[in-house]
C-alpha cells in the first residue's frame, strides 16, 4: 500500500482486496481499519457504512478491473470470435482470477439475492461486459440463426463457472480445460 496515496483511495483499494478475498460478510470493519491503518473517524469521514464503501468499490474499482480482467475488445486482424477466445484464454494468465474467481461474480453470488442496491450495481457491470461481447459477436461471421444476446450470456456464465471453484480446486490447467469447450463451441458457430 502506497503511504502517499490519498486516504479515500487507500480505503477503496483495501476494501476491494478484503472483500475479494473474504467476501462482503467475511470482511469486518475492524479488518478494514487495521489494513488501512487509520482511525475509525477517518473512515467514517469518507463513508458512512461498509455498504456504502463496497458499493463505491463496485463503481470505482471493480468496474475498471472488469475491463482489464475481461478484455473483450476487437483485436486488429481478427474477427470477434477470435477476440473473445483470446480474451477468455488471457484470463488464465491472471493467478488471482484463477485462485479466487471473478470478483464481480463472487459479489453477485453473495449480495445480489440479499440487497437491491448491490444487485443493481452488479447488473450494470454485467450488462457492460455483455454489451462488449455482443459487439464482438456482431463483428463475427456467425451462422444466421445465432442468437448473440443469449450467446453473450453463455460466454460470461461459462467463464464465471470455470472460475468459481474453490482456491484448492482451481488451477490454470483446469480453467483452460473447461474453457476449451467454450472455444470449440464458438468456433462451431462460424459460417
Residue 180 confidence (pLDDT) above 50: yes
Higher pLDDT pick, 157 / 72: 157
110-116 mean pLDDT: 92
Tell me: pLDDT of 89 over 50: yes
Tell me, what's the pLDDT at 4?
A: 56
| Separation of alpha carbons 80 and 133, rounded Å | 8
What was the pLDDT predicted at 1? 45
- Measured distance CA(168)–CA(104) in Å, rounded: 20
Give CA 92 to chain center in angstroms. Answer: 14
Q: What is the dihedral of CA 78, 172, 107, 114, to 10 degrees?
A: 110
- 6 versus 14: the higher-pLDDT residue is 14
The structural domains of the chain, ordered by start, are: 58-188 (1.10.357.10)
Higher pLDDT, 70 or 51: 51
What DSSP state is assigned to residue 112? Answer: T
> Mean of the pLDDT values across residues 45-53?
93
Residue 67 has a pLDDT of 86
Nearest to 66 by CA among 6, 146, 139, 123: 123
Residue 155 reports pLDDT greater than 90: yes
Q: How far apart are CA 81 and CA 186, in angstroms?
A: 7
**What average pLDDT score do residues 84-95 get?**
91
Compute the average pLDDT of residues 4-28: 91
Residue 139's contacts (CB-CB under 8 Å, 6 or more residues apart) are 74, 79, 80, 83
Stated as kind and residue range, the H or E segment containing 172 is: helix 172-188
The Cβ of residue 52 has, within 10 Å, a number of other Cβ atoms equal to 13
| Mean pLDDT, rounded, of the chain | 90
pTM for this prediction:
0.85
Amino acid at each position: 500500500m502506497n503511504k502517499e496515496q490519498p486516504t479515500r483511495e487507500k480505503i477503496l483499494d483495501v476494501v476491494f482486496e478484503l472483500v475479494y478475498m473474504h467476501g462482503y460478510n467475511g470482511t469486518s470493519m475492524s479488518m478494514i481499519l487495521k489494513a488501512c491503518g487509520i482511525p475509525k473517524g477517518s473512515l467514517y469521514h469518507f463513508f458512512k457504512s461498509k455498504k456504502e464503501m463496497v458499493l463505491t468499490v463496485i463503481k470505482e474499482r471493480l468496474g475498471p478491473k472488469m475491463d482489464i480482467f475481461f478484455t473483450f475488445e476487437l483485436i486488429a486482424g481478427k474477427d470477434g470470435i477470435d477476440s473473445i477466445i483470446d480474451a477468455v484464454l488471457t484470463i488464465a494468465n491472471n493467478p488471482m482470477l484463477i485462485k479466487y474467481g471473478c470478483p464481480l461474480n463472487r459479489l453477485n453470488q453473495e449480495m445480489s439475492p440479499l440487497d437491491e442496491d448491490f444487485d443493481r450495481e452488479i447488473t450494470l457491470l454485467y450488462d457492460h461486459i455483455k454489451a462488449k461481447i455482443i459487439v464482438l459477436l456482431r463483428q463475427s461471421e456467425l451462422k444466421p440463426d445465432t442468437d448473440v444476446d443469449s450467446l453473450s450470456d453463455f460466454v460470461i456464465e461459462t467463464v464465471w463457472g470455470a472460475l468459481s471453484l474453490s482456491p484448492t480446486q482451481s488451477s490454470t490447467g483446469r480453467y483452460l480445460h473447461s474453457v476449451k469447450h467454450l472455444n470449440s463451441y464458438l468456433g462451431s458457430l462460424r459460417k
